[in-house]
Structure 1
Amino acid sequence: MKSLGNIRRSFSPWSDPDARPMIAIRNVTKRFGEFTAVDDLSVDIHAREFFALLGASGCGKSTLLRMLAGFEAPNSGTIVLDGVDLAGIPPHRRPLNMMFQSYALFPHMSVADNVAFGLKQEKMAKGAIAERVGQMLKLVKLDRFAGRKPHQLSGGQRQRVALARALAKQPKVLLLDEPLGALDKKLREETQFELTDLQYDLGLTFVVVTHDQEEAMTMADRIAVMDAGRICQVATPAEVYEAPNSKFVADFIGSINLFDGEVASSQANRTVIAGPDGSVVAEDPIERSPGTSLCFAVRPEKIAVSHEPPAEGTNGIAGEVWDLAYLGDMTIFHVKLASGTVIKASMVNAARSSREVFTYHDRVWLSFSPDAGVVLER
């Protein structure tokens, strides 16, 4: 059996029909006046899962997170956490905590006092508070900075203080709203791996909201791609990338090339799609009716560029190099086809020198195998 991409860990309770989800969201709708932010949405999130809500601004992901936290109430539908309906339970009584993008640290308090704030509100014993704060700061590697104020820390360190404070009350679920948005690119990439390691070690359920595709792909066990208040697809990062269920998801996650056309023939797991630039053969388990409008979606890295036509059995389409960029580790090609469609291909520069040299306006062949992409109807 072929696997779609590599997996971070062998953990997939969502594939067990008898598994009970930690969070069960059923037919939830949230309106603000005439605007529907979340539209009849249902999804399950399992214990110990790192779950990402991914979408563009205004798609409803933050509203859904705020309903989980208790800062907003749904107009209809239910949210059940560990078997308990959350309707009417105020935020501070829910067994979850939320980490905001702004971190919301108290500037006049030390790092230790910031982490201890929620524990003091719960009237925990002083000795127990000191022990818990010490554990949390050690966990996020900030025990040496317990006496500092937030302004004396870097952005990454403030982010970890906010994380320690959110974890101090030992919630069943941690909600993270764009948690890495304030960090620079390099620090954000480093922190993504730190968060995944921390979540795995703690065995907690994390639900993160992000608009950053790479962030979701790096951290999450599963991703819910959202648009206009609805979930378009819920799947693992590899499944969302390699087997998107619609043109929207294919286009939203990474770069994609769409070869549009109509079914010329369909048999024996092969569909021939006739388009303006020639026919494309796609590996497709569904038998299609001739004349049906389809597209074959192929990622840039699955397409090879050559001066010579491809071998028999491989799709080949001729075009002209319209643009290219050498990025060191890879070269990006924009190839213009006869119809005017521009196809993006990427080539890994595994060697220091190249056997084939390309430049602007070269006539080239694009080639890709029938199983390089996915057939989409919508």
Structure 2
Amino acid sequence: MKSLGSIRRDFAPWKDPSAKPYIAFENVTKVFGDFTAVDDLSLTIFEKEFFALLGGSGSGKSTLLRMLAGFDEPTKGRILLDGQDLAGIPPYRRPLNMMFQSYALFPHMTVEANIAFGLKQEGMPKADIAARVAEMLKLVKLEQFAKRKPHQLSGGQRQRVALARSVAKRPKVLLLDEPLGALDKKLREETQFELMDLQQSLGLTFVIVTHDQEEAMTMADRIAILDKGQVMQVATPAEIYEAPASRFVASFVGNVNMFEGTVAAREANKARIAGASGAEIFVENAGDAAAGNAVAFAVRPEKIKVSSKRPEGSANAMEGEVFDLAYLGDMTVYHVRLPDGQVVKASALNSSRLTDDPLTWNDRAWISFQPDAGVVLTR
């Protein structure tokens, strides 16, 4: 069985034991007064990686980015970039750049002047500046807007100007703090793919902070899930979704159903889990769960089938009542309430205009899933 990895490109230096991390947080703690924003955190990021720091408010993700940028210093621990300890190095001397959600464009300057600003500050020759600005305008497809000012641009165009300015100095690392938050949903989705293409064409290391799970899943090679200043899991998007390490990660990323129970029996990798409602769940891979352990079996909604009749040959089937449903065009989402009160969410693709097995509110319904449809969680 193949391991889950990046689906976009053949890039996985973290699987190579001899690969040297490009960025390393070593036992980093950051305390603000009596609040610990980052708690003894260790994390490695590799060169040319598109890495996402994903978490809710107060998880420590922005604090990590600010410490890497040099705006804050760790209370304890150290941060290395290409083997160099960044302690004491001011932001303007670090070989990285940061792009903020606000974009921070100069309103009185044209697009090309905004892009050229940092290059002029560095004392680059005029001819070289003109060539670099032209290169950046072409890169972000804004050549025809060079003479415009920010207020004459759309939100997506302003975002691209800020991006061009951020990479014009060719930093080793680009830090992105919620860079797409100001864009509408459709434009945000389009820009995600533009960012991915840009990152690979430039060959830079991108570190993005976001609270948007879909954004992180779309763009990143790997994701670090953060909570209360600690790393809950670091893995590829596919591994985070299909093989979460804990109940927290499973619940935080996407929708999930949790069937709590106790491992009643185990044989090789297979196990039988006795649920609180008396239902039994048979699983193909019990992981490190031993007989007698309290566990949760986590199953994503798309892995659960809903039908009006008990499915034949299914090891895991439970009867309930359709409590709610939502027709979303491409799919229908069912909420089925089981006898013990648990509400199970299941989603079904609407692959045809008509259905042979229509279900609606208050109908009796069966949910079922395969023994390998989910993951057993002990944490």
TM-score (normalizing by structure 1)? 0.98
Partner of 1:377: 378
Partner of 2:217: 217
With over 3 angstroms needed to count, the CA separation of the structure-2 counterparts of 1:5 and 1:307, relative to structure 1, is farther
Cα deviation 1:96-125 (Å, max 9, x = unaligned): 000000000000111111111111110111
Partner of 2:84: 84
Partner of 2:282: 281
Partner of 2:298: 297
Cα deviation 1:289-320 (Å, max 9, x = unaligned): 43321110000000000112123353111111
Alpha-carbon distance between aligned partners in 1 of 2:285 and 2:41, rounded to the nearest angstrom: 30
Alpha-carbon distance between aligned partners in 2 of 1:219 and 1:206, rounded to the nearest angstrom: 10
Alpha-carbon distance between aligned partners in 1 of 2:158 and 2:46, rounded to the nearest angstrom: 29
Partner of 1:42: 42
Q: 2:54 matched to 1:54?
A: yes
Look up the SS of the partner of 2:103 in the other structure.
coil
CA contact 1:52–1:222 (8 Å) conserved in 2:
yes
Cα deviation 1:135-160 (Å, max 9, x = unaligned): 11110001111111100000000000
Partner of 2:120: 120
With over 3 angstroms needed to count, the CA separation of the structure-2 counterparts of 1:346 and 1:154, relative to structure 1, is same
**Mapping 1:179-198, distance limit 5 Å:** 179-198=179-198
With over 3 angstroms needed to count, the CA separation of the structure-2 counterparts of 1:288 and 1:107, relative to structure 1, is closer
Partner of 2:359: 358
With over 3 angstroms needed to count, the CA separation of the structure-2 counterparts of 1:285 and 1:258, relative to structure 1, is closer
Residue 93 of structure 2 aligns to which amino acid in structure 1?
Answer: R
With over 3 angstroms needed to count, the CA separation of the structure-2 counterparts of 1:181 and 1:287, relative to structure 1, is closer
TM-score (normalizing by structure 2)? 0.98
Deviation at 1:32, TM superposition (A): 0.3
Partner of 2:154: 154
User: Runs of 5+ in structure 2 lacking a partner?
Assistant: none
Look up the SS of the partner of 1:9 in the other structure.
coil
Partner of 1:23: 23
CA contact 1:55–1:210 (8 Å) conserved in 2:
yes
Alpha-carbon distance between aligned partners in 1 of 2:349 and 2:2, rounded to the nearest angstrom: 23
Cα deviation 1:303-354 (Å, max 9, x = unaligned): 0001121233531111110001111100000000000000000000111111
Residue 57 of structure 2 aligns to which amino acid in structure 1?
Answer: S
Deviation at 1:78, TM superposition (A): 1.0
With over 3 angstroms needed to count, the CA separation of the structure-2 counterparts of 1:313 and 1:287, relative to structure 1, is farther
Deviation at 1:83, TM superposition (A): 1.6
Alpha-carbon distance between aligned partners in 1 of 2:91 and 2:329, rounded to the nearest angstrom: 49
Alpha-carbon distance between aligned partners in 2 of 1:4 and 1:319, rounded to the nearest angstrom: 33
User: Runs of 5+ in structure 1 lacking a partner?
Assistant: none
Partner of 2:70: 70
Look up the SS of the partner of 2:344 in the other structure.
strand
Alpha-carbon distance between aligned partners in 2 of 1:291 and 1:313, rounded to the nearest angstrom: 25
Look up the SS of the partner of 2:128 in the other structure.
helix
Look up the SS of the partner of 1:106 in the other structure.
coil
Deviation at 1:285, TM superposition (A): 4.7
CA contact 2:6–2:12 (8 Å) conserved in 1:
no
Alpha-carbon distance between aligned partners in 2 of 1:74 and 1:363, rounded to the nearest angstrom: 57
Alpha-carbon distance between aligned partners in 2 of 1:156 and 1:142, rounded to the nearest angstrom: 11
Aligned residues: 378
Cα deviation 1:43-94 (Å, max 9, x = unaligned): 1100110000000011100000000000000011111111211111110110
Deviation at 1:25, TM superposition (A): 1.1
Deviation at 1:3, TM superposition (A): 4.5
Look up the SS of the partner of 1:101 in the other structure.
coil
Alpha-carbon distance between aligned partners in 2 of 1:2 and 1:50, rounded to the nearest angstrom: 22
Residue 354 of structure 2 aligns to which amino acid in structure 1?
Answer: S
Partner of 1:228: 228
CA contact 1:271–1:287 (8 Å) conserved in 2:
no
CA contact 1:112–1:133 (8 Å) conserved in 2:
yes
CA contact 1:69–1:96 (8 Å) conserved in 2:
yes
Look up the SS of the partner of 1:163 in the other structure.
helix
Aligned-residue RMSD, C-alpha: 1.1
Deviation at 1:286, TM superposition (A): 3.7
Alpha-carbon distance between aligned partners in 1 of 2:162 and 2:345, rounded to the nearest angstrom: 41
Partner of 1:331: 332
Alpha-carbon distance between aligned partners in 1 of 2:90 and 2:307, rounded to the nearest angstrom: 62
Q: 2:315 matched to 1:344?
A: no
Alpha-carbon distance between aligned partners in 1 of 2:218 and 2:35, rounded to the nearest angstrom: 32
CA contact 1:267–1:287 (8 Å) conserved in 2:
no
Alpha-carbon distance between aligned partners in 1 of 2:282 and 2:119, rounded to the nearest angstrom: 62
Alpha-carbon distance between aligned partners in 1 of 2:28 and 2:108, rounded to the nearest angstrom: 40
Deviation at 1:5, TM superposition (A): 7.3
Alpha-carbon distance between aligned partners in 2 of 1:287 and 1:154, rounded to the nearest angstrom: 52
CA contact 2:281–2:316 (8 Å) conserved in 1:
yes
